[in-house]
Structure 1
Amino acid sequence: MTYQAKLIAGGKIVIPAELRKALGFQTGDSLVLEREGDSIVIKTYAQVVREVQKEFRTMVGEGYSVDQFLAERRADWGEE
């Protein structure tokens, strides 16, 4: 589906209500804009965090935990 928005004073863009609702954007959400060539991709900060977490999970494995990470760091620092 295609939506139309207008760039207004101060560089503000109003995202149509139907699109905001469909994407789950809420008032006050932090949005991240990524440039892809001549296009812009808009994501919530939460979406970006989930994408990064997913990427790290592929690198360290599904069962890896923050506690394991901290234990490894402490061992590296000689604290255990």
Structure 2
Amino acid sequence: TNLRELGLMRSVGMSAMDTIVATTKVAAECLGWQDKVGTVEAGKLADVIVTKTDPLANVKSLEDVNNIGLVVKDGRVVKNIL
């Protein structure tokens, strides 16, 4: 899963920001999908989560479902406890 990949990348010394960019922007570029996904920009598709804590301070915080305050998938809010 992407979450497992984030942990593995952190364990080999990548910064939290680099791991998030690698699993979003860089992954889209590798697949040739950068015009459609990978970054949050007008006209692109995006699933979005909002966390209660800063995932850059602790990527593992993304594993805690209680830390996820908002989930938007396919343009629909599927979780909102903010």
Determine which structure has more spread, i.e. the larger CA radius of gyration: 1
Using the size of structure 1 for normalisation, the TM-score is: 0.31
Higher helix share: 1
Give TM-score scaled by structure 2 length. Answer: 0.30
